[in-house]
Amino acid sequence: MTRPALWKVGVLAALMTIGWASACGDVDEEDDTLGTDLESGFDDDDDDDASAADFGDNGCGYDYGADPGCDLSTEACQNVVRINRDRFENPEESDCAPRLKWSAELAAVALAHSKDMCDRGFFDHKNPDNQTPFDRMEASGITYVAAGENIAFGTLGAYDADDLEDGFMAEPACQVNHRSNILGRDFTHVGVGIYECSNYSVDGNNYGSVIILTQDFASFSYGDIREDEHDYCPALG
């Protein structure tokens, strides 16, 4: 069925920006690639009793279907389950990225941004106060070593968060884009903010009732950033 509706997406600085930060949370550098990897690899801490889904085994050693740590009855949490499914289904491209865990702090930043885009009528990673996602994270007391953001909106009733995720994942593989944020092996946590906007106007265009999605990704420890080369997608680290 063809949807007679609008779908639009946005990502930072030519589709994605990673913000690298020092231990105190100051941004040392913003780059449009996945940047430097650090030692240690990942701790497979997937001994959770609860399960969000059963995805099976893709050879990576992570329980991608484990409960991400959010309320599974909410659309935002279901979007995290979907993100982890996408990571599970693309082990080569993600280079066995770990399953993402829910971050309530990132989710609060993401939801505030989705609502702000509705309330102040803009569609951008940078808000009218000139704050980037990294500024908003730091203002909320989040100290990260890598971070990224995806945003999208679509007509309410014609699109839901799953549809917007489909659009992200339909992008080319092994390029710096929404898809590479979702599959990024250097991210360990995500927060999702979904806001229903009843009268969305941007730059003189009124889009009516829409759903606005913000996905904020981060890692909080240098020990979670990998040092090995990404052989399948060398441009991504």
Neighbouring C-beta atoms of residue 204, cutoff 10 Å: 6
Q: How much is the pLDDT for 179?
A: 95
Mean pLDDT for all residues in the chain: 81
By the 8 A CB rule, do 209 and 200 touch?
yes
Question: What is the average pLDDT across 9-29?
Answer: 32
Q: How much is the pLDDT for 237?
A: 79
Nearest to 151 by CA among 177, 175, 186, 184: 177
Q: How many residues in the chain?
A: 237
Where is pLDDT greater, at 21 or 200?
200
By the 8 A CB rule, do 209 and 198 touch?
yes
By the 8 A CB rule, do 87 and 97 touch?
yes
| Residue 204, amino acid | G
By the 8 A CB rule, do 87 and 187 touch?
no
Rounded-to-integer distance, Cα 110 and Cα 114, Å: 6
Q: What share of the chain is helix, strand, coil (3-state, %, to 5)?
A: 30, 20, 50
- Rg over CA atoms, the chain: 17
Q: C-alpha distances in angstroms, 3 versus 6, 64, 155?
A: 8, 31, 9
Nearest to 62 by CA among 89, 34, 93, 102: 89
Rounded-to-integer distance, Cα 173 and Cα 144, Å: 26
Where is pLDDT greater, at 38 or 149?
149
pLDDT in tens, 138-177: 999 999 999 999 999 999 999 999 999 999 999 999 998 9
Segment (H or E) for 19: strand 18-21
Question: What is the average pLDDT across 96-123?
Answer: 97
Q: Does residue 206 carry a pLDDT above 50?
A: yes
Q: How much is the pLDDT for 50?
A: 55
Segment (H or E) for 117: helix 104-120
The pTM for the full model equals 0.81
